[in-house]
Amino acid sequence: MATMENLISLATVDEEIREIESSRGDLPSRIKKLESEKEQINNEIEKLTVKLTELSSKETELNRSKQDCDSNLAKYKDQLYLVKNNKEYDALNTEIDTVKTQLNEISITLSDIIENKKQIEEDIKLNQSTIDNNSEKLDKYSSQLKNLMSDNEKEYKNLTLQKEKLIGTIDESILSKYNVMLNAKGFGAAAIVGDACGACYTTLPTQLITEIKQKNEYKYCPSCAILLYFEE
Ligand SMILES: [Zn+2]
């Protein structure tokens, strides 16, 4: 049964792939984590920058109003010298008070904005330094990984190609059972060891061992459900 042989080859190829991948340790997952963190922080910086721009344009607007109020105030104060009666004097003073109140409100809002901007600028700086830190680590891990990979890159590529070819020859239902185990345990099939299952070491019935050696049918371990094969 050709596909059975192919499945055994697949198990062997997967074991070699696993060995190479485990030699890379947790570098790939560390790199992935750092990259996603970096992206999150960049998004945060973007949001903060938009907020900062909004505050700046509000600040410009308020400064313009402040200038208008200042010039109005100067104008009213000049007019005080020209008033002809008490009524005019009182009316002008009311105007002056209104402008002073406006100026007061503007200066309170302005100082809030300035405070707010300062905080946001600090947050941006903090985020930026985290990113710099992350980038440094990323460079370090990436070059470590590159070194590790260059040692067996060719072999790894070759194994991946072999795996692809083998997968194409194996029945889908068998392959899906194999993959469930591969993802759960790190291997999708196990060779029998003596008269035991190579995965859970449960002793197997003699009849089952005979059937496995005949390679006519796919056989699974009664105890751990792994696909079993005989390695000559
Ligand atoms: Zn077993």
Domains and CATH numbers, the chain: 24-153 (1.10.287.1490), 176-229 (no CATH)
Q: What is the pLDDT of residues 84-140, one digit of tens each?
A: 999 999 999 999 999 999 999 999 999 999 999 999 999 999 999 999 999 999 999
pTM: 0.63
Residues 6 or more apart whose Cβ sits within 8 Å of residue 63: 110
Distance 11 CA to ligand 1 centre (A): 15
Distance 224 CA to ligand 1 centre (A): 4
Fill in the DSSP letter of residue 81.
T
Amino acid at 178: Y
| Residue 1: pLDDT over 80 | no
Residue ranges near ligand 1 (ion) with Cβ within 5 Å: 197, 199-200, 221, 223-224
Structure tokens belonging to residue 165: 């070819």
Residue 3: count other Cβ atoms within 10 Å of its Cβ.
15
- Helices and strands counted in the chain (H then E): 5, 3
Give the position of tokens 């345990």. 185
Distance 189 CA to ligand 1 centre (A): 10
Distance 158 CA to ligand 1 centre (A): 30
Distance 220 CA to ligand 1 centre (A): 8
Residue 11: count other Cβ atoms within 10 Å of its Cβ.
21
